[in-house]
């Protein structure tokens, strides 16, 4: 039995708790949140869990094997490092960190302590993503010509106003970290590393609520293929999320993984290797007045459990998480802010 600790009892913490509880080989053993009320509300649903008075106290619990870090982005690095140094494996929510240097520190501590560092990138489990990865690995597509990433979501003012950290540079980090790191990760997962060429950012309708951009356009070059790419993203889509897609143009195929969350195949034309009979993707993370990305946390938890039991490899390694942070930091360093 893999016994989890959990720090952070907000919306994503509840999601982790539910899937840990539902897994036959896992158990939620301890929780901590700086807000005692949030912790007590979670404990009412899982009465066997132990509420701790501090993160340090939880880390001193010898029963705990791994800690899920579900706190604001700006705390991910320091809390993950503290947990690994206390002898615990770590499952950290995206983004792994909001700076390359602190992400590198996390990887270094993982190596020094011998503790596994898992990063939540649940969209890798989406059936269309896995299907495209398979035919790319088989070389069926031929030469990659170009890629386009479209991320058109909505975040109401209430999304930021209900939180004391979302929308801040210090704790949130930016729209690429909180909303769209998943899409950058999938491009990296499918097509490898990228060189950032140019970026433009603007805050078109959230100037009263966030300290960074809500809209951006980034151009890049795929390192492995020498192919151009572009990413256009916004959280200013009118009233609701509209699209989250990656379109690949190749020598023997053109395909668009789309829907709102990379959960459907919206277009394909291939040289005889069309993707058919895909499993139905799970629902998105529904938080009432806004939607998050795909809800594959059950698969994430299962991969963690099986990896710790040495039955599976880690799907999203610490090195992968670091690479995504590195790419995002480079995007921001190339950007021209118009606000």
6-20, 34-48, 212-226, 278-292: least confidently modelled range = 278-292
78 lies in the same domain as 150: no
DSSP class of 293: E
pTM of this structure: 0.94
Boundary of a domain, candidates 67, 89, 119: 119
Largest alpha-carbon pair distance within the chain?
60
pLDDT at 286: 59
49 lies in the same domain as 157: no
**Burial (Cβ within 10 Å: 0-12, 13-18, ≥19) of residue 228:** middle
Report the mean per-residue pLDDT for the chain. 94
pLDDT at 339: 56
Q: Is residue 307 part of a domain?
A: no
Instruction: State the residue range of the domain holding 144.
Output: 125-295
142 lies in the same domain as 102: no
Spatial neighbors of 311 by CB under 8 A, at least 6 apart, are none
Contact yes or no for 183/262 (Cβ under 8 A) = yes
pLDDT tens for 151-174 read 999 999 999 999 999 999 999 999
Q: 114-127 as b/e, with b when 16 or more CB fall inside 10 Å?
A: ebbbbbbbbbbbbb
pLDDT tens for 86-110 read 999 999 999 999 999 999 999 999 9
How far, in Å, CA of 228 to CA of 226, rounded? 7
Does the structure show a pLDDT above 70 at 282? no
- Tokens representing 122 are 């649940």
Residue 244 to residues 112, 116, 179, 180, 255, Cα–Cα distance (Å): 38, 31, 11, 9, 14
Q: 3-state class of 146 per DSSP?
A: strand
pLDDT at 173: 96
191 lies in the same domain as 108: no
Neighbours of 310 (CB within 10 A): 7
**Domain CATH number, residue 97:** 3.40.50.720
125-134, 170-179, 313-322: least confidently modelled range = 313-322
148 lies in the same domain as 166: yes
Q: 3-state class of 57 per DSSP?
A: helix
102 lies in the same domain as 180: no
Does the structure show a pLDDT above 70 at 338? no
pLDDT tens for 286-303 read 555 555 555 789 999 999
DSSP class of 63: T
Average pLDDT over residues 112-133: 96
Contact yes or no for 252/142 (Cβ under 8 A) = yes
pLDDT at 280: 73
194 lies in the same domain as 287: yes
107 lies in the same domain as 134: no
Per cent of the chain over pLDDT 90 is 89
Q: Note if the bond before 26 is cis, omega within 30 degrees.
A: no
**Domain CATH number, residue 237:** 3.30.360.10
């Amino acid at each position: 039995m893999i016994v989890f600790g959990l720090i952070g009892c907000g919306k994503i913490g509840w999601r982790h708790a539910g899937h840990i509880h539902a897994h036959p080989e896992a158990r939620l053993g301890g929780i901590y949140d700086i807000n005692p009320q949030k912790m007590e509300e979670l404990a009412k649903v899982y009465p066997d869990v132990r509420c701790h008075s501090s993160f340090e106290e939880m880390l001193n619990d010898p029963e705990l094997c791994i800690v899920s870090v579900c706190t604001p982005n700006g705390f991910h690095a320091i809390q993950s490092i503290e947990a690994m140094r206390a002898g615990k494996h770590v499952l950290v929510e995206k983004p792994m960190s909001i700076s390359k240097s602190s992400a590198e520190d996390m990887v270094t501590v993982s190596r020094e302590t011998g503790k596994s560092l898992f990063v939540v990138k649940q969209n890798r489990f989406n059936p269309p993503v896995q299907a495209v990865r398979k035919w790319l690995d088989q070389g069926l597509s031929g030469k990659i010509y170009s890629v386009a990433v479209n991320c058109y979501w909505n975040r109401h003012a209430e999304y930021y106003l209900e939180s004391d950290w979302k929308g801040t540079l210090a704790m949130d980090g930016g729209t690429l970290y909180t909303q769209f790191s998943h899409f950058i990760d999938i491009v990296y997962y499918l097509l490898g590393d990228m060189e950032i060429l140019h970026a433009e950012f603007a805050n078109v309708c959230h100037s009263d609520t966030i300290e960074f951009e809500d809209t951006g356009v980034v151009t890049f070059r795929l390192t492995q293929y020498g192919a151009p790419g572009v990413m256009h993203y916004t959280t200013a889509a009118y009233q609701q999320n509209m699209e989250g897609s990656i379109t690949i143009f190749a020598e023997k195929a053109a395909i668009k993984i789309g829907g709102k969350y990379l959960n459907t195949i919206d277009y394909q034309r291939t040289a005889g290797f069309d993707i058919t009979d895909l499993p139905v993707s799970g629902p998105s993370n529904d938080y009432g007045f806004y939607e998050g990305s795909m809800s594959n946390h059950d698969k994430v938890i299962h991969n963690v459990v099986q990896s710790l039991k040495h039955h599976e490899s880690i799907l999203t390694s610490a090195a992968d998480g670091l690479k995504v942070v590195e790419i995002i930091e480079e995007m921001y360093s190339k950007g021209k802010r118009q606000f």
